[in-house]
Chain A
Amino acid sequence: MATVSEGLSGIPVWRSVGASPAPKAFDERQQTLIVGAGPVGLTIALDLARRGHGVTVLNKLDFIPAGSKAICFAKRTLDIWDRLGVADAMIEKGVRWNVGKVYRGARENLVYQFDLMPVKDQKMPGFINLQQYYAEEILLQALQRLSNVELRWGHEVSAIESRSDGVEVTVKCSDASYTVGADWLIACDGNKSTIRQRMGLDFAGRIFEDNFLIADVRVKETRPVERTFWFDPPFNPGRSALMHKQPDDVWRLDFQLGANIDRAACVRPENVEPLIRGLLGADAEFTPVWYSVYTFQCRRMKSFVHDRVIFAGDSAHLVSPFGARGCNGGVADAANLGWKLDLVLRGQAPEALLQTYNYEAIVTADENILNSSRATDFMTPKTPVSRAFRDAVLELAQEFPFARPFVNSGRLSTAVSLPDSPLNTPDEHDAEWAGIKPGYPCLDAPTSSGWLLEQLGEGFVLLTNRCEVRAVTPIQQVEISDFDTGGVVASRYDLRPGSAYLIRPDQYVAARWRNPTTSAVLAAFDRATGKSA
């Protein structure tokens, strides 16, 4: 989560792993070095390792941290993690939810409600809530089953030299300091990224003055599992509050505090507990898990790719937590980068393909920052006029349906579309299509042999419906007439007989045709792999 925590000193430990020893050779050469073992670094490591690459992950900490980190994982993230074989474990431990409700004042004043699963019949839910440390544990377990991954705990990068053909980093660990060279370095080392700072790179954006209190508490509650948000609740008048259920009977309560506060005082139990009791009820029996105050910033780097150093996740972009766009945005980076770096490492795509990671990840980050900033401006009006409009929306929403979608308590993370990506092949101008446009993420669908996304796998796919054209290696053909007995795939993709979709390894649509030819498919494949613009 893109937050600056304060309150309790030091970083809380979820599970101690222990420092890894220094490598035997002190002048190593690696193909791919990942810095940072948070959800983003671990997802990229898993994606690359499953594609057969040797991966080394350096992590400054020698433990998995607890504390106030990400808890909301969106459907797109779950679709990505399912492709990587880890979503089932996440969902088993996590708390599923699809519905968000926004109240104004007392609980009975519902002003807006949204459903994050407007299209039902998909394998993954709209959202799960799961403490970040559980997500990291599950990713780590998957990585530990692979022999081509090495995780180094307590190894901190202290210097970096970046060249056009690789990097040289100096690493400090408990018993030594060593240098390691790498063809590629992926910096997933969070908002205070050592790599970014050591390279002296920009990180411009907006700082917001408002303070928020996180109170994670353990309590037996029978409320429905939904995202609940209040504007101006009786227990926090004039401000807002947010409530999310996590596994293990932990609830995250988030209270807006305003600007210019005494942060240390705000996390003292005698000041936190009245808010908690106001929300949960005067006689609620709860145990504190974590209290902290945070502020947030919306920032991003101008470019995420600097020669052979690639930034992903919070190191490259930061948002407010409202909308769950921090960690989910980072996992989107991971999925976008994984297949591209794989093809470049294999020599099957030019290095220029990674510039499209830069383009697509920036489109994604900008959409997340835009939504996050807008939600913040609605929640914390900066001027009297801005407050008047906000309050007018909330009032009108209680009376008139039109005003409800104006209510902005955070627009929750959904897959970003990339309609102008240079990797897309536009539809033929005379072709009529509903379905999913080039640059948009694939939609799951039930079939007689499992879920559609499971059958798309991890490479390029030509999704066909009784089509003349045959896919050639490395494109894999998936013929829907074999399994689309309910016709749901044909309907969701408008895939009439004779038509085909070319789908990228990250399950975005690259191209589609009513009557494809082999040469058209190959041209679209070349374009989608950065071989032609």
Chain B
Amino acid sequence: MSELITQLNVSRPDDIYEQLIELHAGLTEEESMRVNARLILLLLNHIGDESIVRDAIAAARRIVS
């Protein structure tokens, strides 16, 4: 079973980051939330491996200190 990749895995991080910000241009907060939800669902289905998704969920949640 593979693990959540935590080293850089995209070749052009600034470009992808910009696309993420651009995705939300002109959207209301509510629309942004829905667009993010769509993006997460599309990506997690593509990943497929439940253990990776679970690890990513756990890692994402670690903001409350």
A residues near B (Cβ < 8 Å) are 384-385, 388-389, 391-393, 395-396, 400, 402-403, 406
Q: Which of B1-9, B10-18, B28-36, B56-64 contacts A (4 or more CB under 8 A)?
A: B28-36
Q: Looking across the interface, which residue of chain B has its beta carbon closest to that of A389? A: B37
B34 lies within 8 A of A396 (CB) = no
B residues near A (Cβ < 8 Å) are 30, 33-34, 36-38, 40-42, 45
A388 lies within 8 A of B41 (CB) = no
CB distance from B33 to the nearest CB of A (A): 4
A392 lies within 8 A of B30 (CB) = no
B33 lies within 8 A of A393 (CB) = no
Q: What is the bound-complex CA distance between A396 and B42, given in angstroms?
A: 9
* Chain B residue contacts of A393, Cβ below 8 A: 41
A384 lies within 8 A of B30 (CB) = yes
B45 lies within 8 A of A388 (CB) = no
* Chain A residue contacts of B30, Cβ below 8 A: 384, 388
Can you name 10 A-B residue pairings with CB atoms under 8 Å? A385-B33, A385-B37, A388-B33, A388-B34, A388-B36, A389-B40, A392-B41, A395-B34, A396-B38, A400-B42
A391 lies within 8 A of B34 (CB) = yes
**Known contacts A385-B33, A388-B30, A388-B33: does B38 contact A395 (CB below 8 Å)?**
yes
* Chain A residue contacts of B36, Cβ below 8 A: 388
Q: What is the bound-complex CA distance between A400 and B45, given in angstroms?
A: 11
Q: What is the bound-complex CA distance between A388 and B27, given in angstroms?
A: 14
How many A-B contacts at CB < 8 Å in the complex?
Answer: 29
CB distance from A377 to the nearest CB of B (A): 14
* Chain B residue contacts of A392, Cβ below 8 A: 34, 37-38, 41
* Chain B residue contacts of A400, Cβ below 8 A: 42
* Chain A residue contacts of B33, Cβ below 8 A: 384-385, 388
Pick from A392, A400, A402, A403 the residue with the most CB of B within 10 Å. Answer: A392
* Chain B residue contacts of A391, Cβ below 8 A: 34, 37
* Chain A residue contacts of B41, Cβ below 8 A: 389, 392-393, 396, 403, 406
Q: Looking across the interface, which residue of chain B has its beta carbon closest to that of A406? A: B41
CB distance from B45 to the nearest CB of A (A): 5
* Chain B residue contacts of A395, Cβ below 8 A: 34, 38
Q: What is the bound-complex CA distance between A402 and B40, given in angstroms?
A: 13
CB distance from A405 to the nearest CB of B (A): 10
Q: What is the bound-complex CA distance between A385 and B30, given in angstroms?
A: 9
* Chain B residue contacts of A396, Cβ below 8 A: 38, 41-42
9 extra interface residue pairs, beta carbon distance < 8 Å, beyond A388-B34, A391-B37, A396-B42:
A384-B30, A388-B36, A389-B37, A389-B40, A389-B41, A392-B37, A396-B41, A403-B45, A406-B41
Q: What is the bound-complex CA distance between A333 and B24, given in angstroms?
A: 51
* Chain A residue contacts of B40, Cβ below 8 A: 389
* Chain A residue contacts of B42, Cβ below 8 A: 396, 400
* Chain A residue contacts of B37, Cβ below 8 A: 385, 388-389, 391-392
CB distance from A231 to the nearest CB of B (A): 14
Q: Looking across the interface, which residue of chain A has its beta carbon closest to that of B46? A: A402
- A-B CB proximity, top 7 nearest: A392-B37, A388-B33, A392-B38, A388-B37, A389-B37, A388-B34, A402-B45
* Chain B residue contacts of A403, Cβ below 8 A: 41, 45
Q: What is the bound-complex CA distance between A400 and B41, given in angstroms?
A: 11
CB distance from A104 to the nearest CB of B (A): 14
Q: What is the bound-complex CA distance between A385 and B41, given in angstroms?
A: 13
Q: What is the bound-complex CA distance between A400 and B38, given in angstroms?
A: 11
CB distance from B2 to the nearest CB of A (A): 20
Pick from B30, B36, B41, B42 the residue with the most CB of A within 10 Å. Answer: B41
* Chain B residue contacts of A385, Cβ below 8 A: 33, 37
CB distance from B16 to the nearest CB of A (A): 21
Q: What is the bound-complex CA distance between A389 and B41, given in angstroms?
A: 8
